[in-house]
């Protein structure tokens, strides 16, 4: 038997590595280019994107996957809406092809790339087109995919793309139905036949609940009843007792969001409105992406501001508008659900690990506090120029978590530069850092030997001397 020629397989591997390095370099170019000439910068962006799009036409699956990873990195690291706009249709169709025909890894990457693309393009015609084109394929993969990872990616992308691009309440509600069918799936053959979805894993159920919550937060106030919330209570009660911690936690957060949304609806119902207004009509539907600007819908509350929902979730407080049973968002079983959450905040399943038991108690203590006291634990995000984004409602927290998970490490960059996120969170960050003292200025102002420091010392000494003289004179008067 002859010896195998060494290096033949290695050369093939080296070629693949070289291709991967080339595509990664193209992605890095989008973050590293610069220069005074804006046209040159745009040309670099455009050519780098062309290279990445070309990889999506390759026959080798690993090459396409590497190209998708580079594309995701490029879209998250920078705001590339201008560079993508002229290539949107070509890019979108290749991503949809990856969702439809790719293997598990490729379809998962393509699904996430579609969600990031919608965030990049922002609210408007482009994101609506992305939703209309990709929505049906993401729905099919989420419901009928054979592997769990692509189904999770497709479901999360479906929710984010609908959140940004859907211009019709019916589209949003149909997407919510898809999420709810997966979340409430019992994992048996009857469930598959009834809803047309294969059995979900616990991770997929948790993702479905989070996605449903995100879409609920996108509906205008007053449309909560259209979701048949009371009919969903038995499913939420069952999911609160699920064997998986992530499902139990997601169910608890969904309940907290529903209570917050129901309290908002009740307060809105009590307001005096024009008889010509019809909040439930399709014609009056305003997409949340357009409703964000100028209203407190992103869950951001100014520091020190009072939570308008505090004390109304359980019919408490001084607001008598919540005392009626008909105003309870979750119907007659609302108290049972709250009591179950209270029990889970002090007890955990014995079969769970010690870490899982501690995590459940901590999570449900926060949930219980938010339900009883109003609001939720504040989340603060620091930006590079000293800005801080503070989110203090469940609506804002759900939106923040979904967008941050989709963008990954690029969330900070998009929060700094993406107009969509500025509208969602009603937050306008500084574009330049606050002026800081330079070395010479620091020596002039802060050095112990500086003129300013000497002036402060002299002024302090004068105040001490005057105080001492005043004290002596005062005691002398008393002796007389």
* DSSP-derived secondary structure for 314-345: TS-SS-GGG-SGGG-TTGGGHHHHHHHHHHHT
Asked if residues 442 and 154 have their Cβ atoms less than 8 Å apart, the reply is no
Same domain for 426 and 382: yes
Asked if residues 120 and 81 have their Cβ atoms less than 8 Å apart, the reply is yes
User: 418 in a domain, yes or no?
Assistant: yes
User: 369 in a domain, yes or no?
Assistant: yes
Asked if residues 198 and 140 have their Cβ atoms less than 8 Å apart, the reply is no
User: 205 in a domain, yes or no?
Assistant: no
CA distances from 167 to 12, 57, 109, 179 (A): 49, 31, 26, 19
When divided into structural domains, the chain yields a total of 2
Same domain for 401 and 360: no
Same domain for 345 and 412: no
Q: What is the pLDDT along the chain (480 residues), one digit of tens a residue?
A: 444 444 444 444 445 445 545 554 555 545 444 444 445 555 577 788 999 999 999 999 999 999 999 999 999 999 999 999 999 999 999 999 999 999 999 999 999 999 999 999 998 999 999 999 999 999 999 999 989 999 999 999 999 999 999 988 889 999 999 999 999 988 777 667 677 788 899 999 999 999 999 999 988 766 666 667 788 889 999 999 999 999 999 999 999 998 888 765 554 444 434 334 333 334 444 444 444 433 333 344 444 444 433 433 333 333 333 334 445 667 678 888 899 999 999 888 888 889 999 999 999 999 999 888 877 888 899 887 778 899 989 999 999 999 999 999 999 999 999 999 999 998 888 776 555 556 666 655 566 667 777 778 888 888 888 877 766 555 555 444
Same domain for 360 and 339: yes
Q: Where does a domain end: 413, 430, 447?
A: 430
Same domain for 388 and 369: no
Same domain for 364 and 392: no
Same domain for 239 and 365: yes
Domain interval for residue 384: 378-430
User: 92 in a domain, yes or no?
Assistant: no
Same domain for 413 and 333: no
User: 399 in a domain, yes or no?
Assistant: yes
Q: Which helix (H) or strand (E) holds 352?
A: none
Same domain for 426 and 346: no
Same domain for 386 and 365: no
Asked if residues 239 and 277 have their Cβ atoms less than 8 Å apart, the reply is no
User: 169 in a domain, yes or no?
Assistant: no
| 66-70 CB contacts, 8 Å cutoff, 24+ apart | 66/19, 66/20, 66/23, 66/24, 67/23, 68/98, 68/106, 68/109, 68/110, 68/113, 69/23, 69/24, 69/27, 69/109, 70/23, 70/24, 70/26, 70/27
User: 46 in a domain, yes or no?
Assistant: no
| Entry pTM | 0.74
Same domain for 252 and 241: yes
Same domain for 332 and 252: yes
User: 349 in a domain, yes or no?
Assistant: yes
Structure tokens, 387: 């800005």
| 36-42 CB contacts, 8 Å cutoff, 24+ apart | 42/82, 42/83
Q: What is the pLDDT of residue 13?
A: 46
């Amino acid at each position: 038997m002859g010896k195998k020629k060494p290096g033949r397989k290695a050369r093939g591997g080296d070629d693949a590595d070289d291709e991967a390095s080339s595509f990664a370099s193209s992605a890095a170019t989008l973050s590293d280019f610069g220069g005074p000439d804006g046209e040159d910068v745009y040309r670099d962006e455009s050519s780098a994107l062309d290279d990445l799009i070309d990889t999506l036409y390759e026959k080798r699956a690993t090459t396409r996957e590497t190209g998708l990873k580079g594309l995701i990195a490029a879209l998250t690291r920078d705001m590339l809406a201008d560079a993508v706009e002229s290539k949107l249709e070509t890019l979108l169709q290749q991503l949809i092809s990856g969702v439809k025909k790719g293997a598990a890894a490729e379809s998962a990457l393509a699904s996430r790339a579609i969600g990031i693309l919608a965030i990049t393009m922002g609210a408007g015609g482009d994101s609506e087109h992305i939703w209309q084109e990709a929505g049906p394929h993401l729905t099919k993969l989420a419901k009928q995919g054979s592997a769990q990872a692509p189904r999770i990616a497709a479901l999360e992308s479906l929710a984010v793309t609908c959140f940004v691009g859907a211009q019709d309440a019916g589209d949003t509600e149909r997407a919510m139905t898809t999420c709810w069918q997966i979340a409430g799936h019992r994992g048996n053959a009857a469930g598959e036949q009834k809803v047309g979805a294969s059995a979900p894993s616990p991770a997929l159920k948790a993702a479905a609940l989070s996605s449903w919550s995100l879409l609920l937060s996108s509906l205008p106030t007053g449309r909560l009843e259209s979701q048949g919330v009371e009919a969903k209570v038995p499913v939420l009660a069952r999911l609160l007792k699920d064997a998986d911690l992530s499902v139990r936690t997601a169910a608890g957060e969904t309940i907290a969001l529903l209570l917050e949304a129901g309290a908002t609806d009740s307060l809105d119902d009590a307001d005096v409105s024009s008889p010509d207004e019809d909040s439930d009509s399709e014609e009056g539907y305003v997409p949340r992406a357009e409703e964000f600007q100028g209203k407190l819908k992103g869950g951001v509350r100014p520091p020190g501001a009072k939570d308008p929902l505090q004390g109304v979730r359980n019919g408490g407080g001084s607001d008598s508008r919540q005392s009626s049973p008909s105003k309870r968002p979750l119907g007659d079983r609302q108290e049972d659900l709250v009591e179950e959450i209270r029990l889970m905040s002090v007890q955990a399943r014995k079969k769970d690990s010690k870490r899982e038991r501690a995590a459940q108690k901590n999570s449900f203590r926060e949930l219980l506090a938010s339900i009883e006291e109003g609001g939720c634990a504040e989340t603060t995000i620091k930006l590079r120029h000293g800005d801080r984004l503070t989110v203090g409602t469940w609506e804002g927290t759900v939106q923040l978590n979904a967008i941050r998970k989709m963008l990954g490490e690029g969330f900070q960059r998009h929060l700094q530069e993406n107009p969509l996120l500025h509208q969602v969170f009603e937050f306008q960050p500084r574009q330049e850092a606050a002026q800081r003292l330079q070395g010479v200025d620091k020596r002039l102002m802060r050095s112990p030997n500086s003129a300013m420091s000497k002036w402060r010392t002299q002024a302090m000494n004068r105040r001490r001397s005057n105080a001492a003289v005043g004290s002596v004179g005062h005691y002398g008067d008393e002796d007389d």
